[in-house]
Structure 1
Amino acid sequence: MSARASNPPRQPVSSRRQVLTQIGGAALASMLGAPVFAQSKPIRIGASFDNSGVEKANGQGLFAGSSACINAINKAGGINGQKIELVMADDKFKPETAKANALEFAADASVLAMLHPLGTRQTAEIMDAVPGMAVVGPNTGTVALRKKNAPNTFWVRANYDQEVEKLIATAAVLGINRIGIVHSKDPLGNSVLEACKASLSAHKLEPVVIATTPSTISMEVGPAAAAIAKAEPQVVITGLAGTAPAFIQALRKAGGNSTVYGLSIMASSLTPLGDAARGIGFAIVVPSPNATRFEVVRRYQADMQASGSKDYSLPSLEGYMNAQVLVEGLRRAGPGASRAALIAALAGIEGYDLGGVKIGFGRVNREGNQFVDVAVIGSSGRILS
């Protein structure tokens, strides 16, 4: 296994795996007024995600949110007298690396579960590689993965079919009937295409154009942009994530004026567009990070601030909520819980209110959340919903 470092969060990543949420010894904790943990062994949680590639904005956001949640839990005394330690492994958005990271975590008896893997193929590799370990909150909505009914995988976000239906229903309510689709030629893209076709059919509509990009990470978006611009749909549904800004820029350059609607995974990638992002719509599977009418958002903002950040975002709120669900499972599993006990405890979560969003699993159900809304980028990049 690769060496593990215990560096502070602000230091550069110098190894594949780092402990980024760690508290010092009991003596130092006492001096600083922090809780002294009753048991010496921490609860260790693995997190494999893209921390350096095309999806690093999503990955870093997820981790910032989950770290803020766990920091707050540790400050309040931990779970069952133990602190929680979040261990990061950068998979660079490569499925084979995600699998290798998962196998390393599985081989380490001190790692109890895995949190928020990022990406469709990455999640597929991870959930298969660690069947005896809980995988909580994968950051993908691909329906095919959920149909595998993997008992170790707990979904905390709605699926892409639900996102697509919300987007198309919103367009239909506005009287829009010329809708185009752009998707990548991979499992994610194929899933989005089928969802779009089914939803359009239910609304008695047909796509006016279907365009493709080579893959989730390919920046070869020019031909797809040209095809969309030529067809002139009123709205184009984009099944893209980190490559969405390049597509939108290419679409505008090609003379395309279509309104852009996207999946939730597109939102965090829009920052480089600046003012050009204004008016772009997308599905959201958590409340807006500015919607303080939700109790979970108020707690999230407070815990992010306590962790030294006011960079509120959809991915970090999702990571925060994923961590909350995992922590509830740990609480129910009790002290010294095994991996199997944690899976059983998570399966027992039903009607659990995170603070305005309810989570419910069950003996066979692993899709715990149906929340979907639509948001728009407003002035100064603010998310409006």
Structure 2
Amino acid sequence: MSESKARSLSMPSMPSRRQAIARLAGSVGVGAAAALGWPAFAQARSIRVGATFDNSGVEKANGAGLFVGSSAYFNALNRAGGINGTKVELILADDQFKPDIAKDNALAFAADSSVLAMLHPLGTRQAAAVIDAVPGMAVVGPNTGTVSLRKKASPNTFWVRANYDQELDRLIATAAVLGQSRIGIVYSEDPLGQSLLAGFKAALAKVKLEPAVIASTPGTTSMEVDPAAAKIAAAAPQIVIIGLAGTAPAFVRALRKAGGKSSAYGLSITASALGAMGDLAHGLGFAIVVPSPFATKYEIVRRYQADMLASGSKEFSLPSLEGYMDACVLAEGLRRAGPSPTRAGVIAGLEHIEGYDLGGVKINFGRGNREGSQFVDVAVISANGRLIS
């Protein structure tokens, strides 16, 4: 393994195989390493899956949530005997929300022939870097809804979540039904933000409205939010759509400090930052691309809650449910790849998933389609902090 690849996996003093086990046992474990011990596990056959995302920067809450959920699923799967009798080993690589590190991590996984697929890279530029770096490996559930990225021909990529245009359509249609016509947006000046701005204008046009105000921040990770907050506060729209992720709490605080009283609607990427908003989250409406993690009317949510608790995770969240569902989809592709899966076999297995019911949410790939889910709902944070959808 090269120096850069070893650095991307954060433990350069250990051989790659042992490194993965140590990372696995020391993180939100998939359980096989800790249960079998190093000598036993070294002899065991396993299916290995790589995951690169932010585990130390501004998007850590989202990244860690995804990994907790996917780990809970694979823990349960392994307790039940794995896939075709083979355990699944999930390997974490922290990319610090930096596209170049995400690319290095993906290349390191690609260089290891035992890694068959990658799961939920986080961020638009990060996902794009990963997708391009591993064209022969399935990338399942990129955690971004950017439409332009989905229009690019990437036969190795399988999107589980709905896209941002679908989220914006739902939010603006909801506002229009409630008689709210003065709608603004804050977005980041980067590929993600440009995609959101285009989707926002298109969604407004469908209901014959014009933007009440448009404001931007310098980038996805920029905390320079005061100018945008002041612009929104001065325009006083009825609703401001927050097209920000980890910096959303800083923007909401700045908006309220500037005297802005607009209602706020967030996109699904805002959900990862809800915990950092405290009381400011109360009354916030936002789009969700998975069911509420408390909506036990869905079979997928009931299974998720049980598997999370069995893994020692008591905090239910939208990111962890999304990670859990991503893992469900990848596991189905692995099953369809047969008892001796290959990278090409996994891609072929995923391609043939049609009408697959996760337990209230259906996934449809096949016939060249790579966007599996159309699920979008609107949720609100109640005064007691509960998610209501």
Report the TM-score range of the alignment, normalised by the length of the smaller protein.
Answer: over 0.9
Q: Which residue of 1 aligns with 2:275?
A: 271
Aligned to 1:21: 30
For 2:21, the aligned partner's letter is S
The corresponding residue for 2:313 is 309
Shift of 1:40: 2.7
User: What's 2:230 paired with?
Assistant: 226
Which residue identity is paired with 2:336? R
Stretches of structure 1 lacking an aligned partner (at least 5 in a row): 14-18, 30-35
> Given the alignment, which residue of 343, 346, 356 partners 1:352?
356
Q: How far did 1:379 drift?
A: 2.7
CA distance in 2 between partners of 1:177 and 1:302 (Å): 42
Q: Residue 6 of structure 1 contacts residue 20 of structure 1 at CA under 8 Å; is this kept in 2?
A: no
Instruction: Indicate which of 189, 199, 210 corresponds to 1:185.
Output: 189
Shift of the 343–5 alpha-carbon distance from structure 1 to 2, 3 Å rule, reads closer
| Cα distance in 2 for residues equivalent to 1:27 and 1:201 | 58
Match of 1:207 in 2: 211
Cα distance, 1:284 vs structure 2: 0.1
CA deviation map 1:97-132 (0-9, x unaligned) = 000000000000010000000000000000000000
| Residue 288 (structure 1) aligned to one of 287, 292, 295 | 292
Find the counterpart in structure 2 of residue 33 from structure 1.
none
Alignment correspondent of 1:6: 21
Aligned pairs for 1:84-123 within 5 A: 84-123=88-127
Range moving further from structure 2, 83-92 or 259-268: 259-268
Deviations, residues 123-155 of structure 1 (Å, cap 9, x unaligned): 000000000000000000000111013100000
Alpha-carbon RMSD across the aligned residues, in angstroms, is: 1.8
Distance 1:322 1:5, change over 3 A: closer
Tell me the amino acid that sits aligned with residue 141 of structure 2: G
Query: For residues 182 and 35 of structure 2, what CA distance do their matches in structure 1 show?
Result: 63
Determine the C-alpha separation between the residues in 2 that align with 1:28 and 1:114: 25
- Asked if structure 2 preserves the Cα contact closer than 8 Å seen for 1:7 and 1:20, the reply is no
In structure 2, what is the Cα distance between the partners aligned to 1:379 and 1:56? 26
Mind listing any 5+ residue stretches in structure 2 that lack a counterpart?
7-11, 13-18
Deviation at 1:9, TM superposition (A): 6.3
Q: Residue 270 of structure 1: SS of its match in structure 2?
A: helix
Structure 1 counterpart of 2:87, from 83, 88, 93: 83
Alpha-carbon deviations, 1:253-288, whole Å to 9, x = none? 000000000110101202122112100011000000
Superposed displacement of residue 5, structure 1: 4.9
Asked whether the 8 Å contact 1:115–1:135 carries over to 2, the reply is: yes
Q: Please state how far the C-alpha of 1:80 moved relative to its aligned partner.
A: 0.8
Report the CA distance shift for 1:137/1:25 in structure 2 as closer, same or farther (over 3 A): closer
Tell me the residue number matched to 1:57: 61
Q: Give the corresponding residue for 1:16.
A: none
Residue in structure 2 matching 1:198, options 199, 202, 205: 202
Distance 1:230 1:376 in 2: 25
**Aligned-partner residue type, residue 332 of structure 2:** E
Residue 138 of structure 2 is aligned with which of 115, 134, 140?
134
User: Is the Cα contact below 8 Å between 2:25 and 2:31 reproduced in 1?
Assistant: no
3-state DSSP of counterpart to 2:378: strand
Matched, 1:255 2:259: yes
The alignment status of 1:365 with 2:365, answered yes or no, reads: no
Look up the equivalent residue of 2:132 and give its one-letter code. D
Count of aligned positions: 372
The amino acid that maps onto 2:247 is T
- Distance of aligned partners of 1:240 and 1:24 in 2 relative to their CA distance in 1, 3 Å threshold: closer
Cα offsets for 1:136-191 (capped at 9, x unmatched): 00000000111013100000000000000000000000000001111000000000
Please give the TM-score of this superposition, normalised by the length of structure 2.
0.93
Change (3 A) 1:26 1:316: closer
- Inter-partner Cα distance in structure 1 for 2:153 and 2:144: 15
* Percent identical: 70
Deviations 1:227-264 (A, max 9, x none): 00000000001110000000000000000000000110
What code does the residue aligned with 1:359 have? I
Moved over 4 A (4+): 8-11, 24-29
Alpha-carbon distance change, 273 to 317 in structure 1, aligned in 2, over 3 angstroms: same
Partner of 2:330: 326
Question: CA offset at residue 380 of structure 1?
Answer: 3.0
3-state SS, counterpart of residue 380 of structure 1: coil
Q: Secondary structure at the match of 1:183?
A: strand
Counterpart contact for 2:25–2:33, Cα < 8 Å: no
In 2: Cα distance, 1:257 partner to 1:367 partner: 37
In 1, Cα distance between the equivalents of 2:66 and 2:216?
28
The answer to whether the Cα contact below 8 Å between 2:53 and 2:102 also exists between their aligned partners in 1 is yes
SS at 1:166 equivalent: helix
Determine the C-alpha separation between the residues in 1 that align with 2:279 and 2:186: 22
Query: Is the CA contact (8 Å cut-off) linking 1:138 and 1:155 kept in structure 2?
Result: yes
Q: Say which structure is richer in helix.
A: 2
**One-letter amino acid of the counterpart of residue 357, structure 2:** D
Q: Distance in 2 between matches of 1:350 and 1:379?
A: 40
Contact 2:70/2:320, CA 8 A, preserved across alignment: yes
Matched residue SS, 2:32? coil
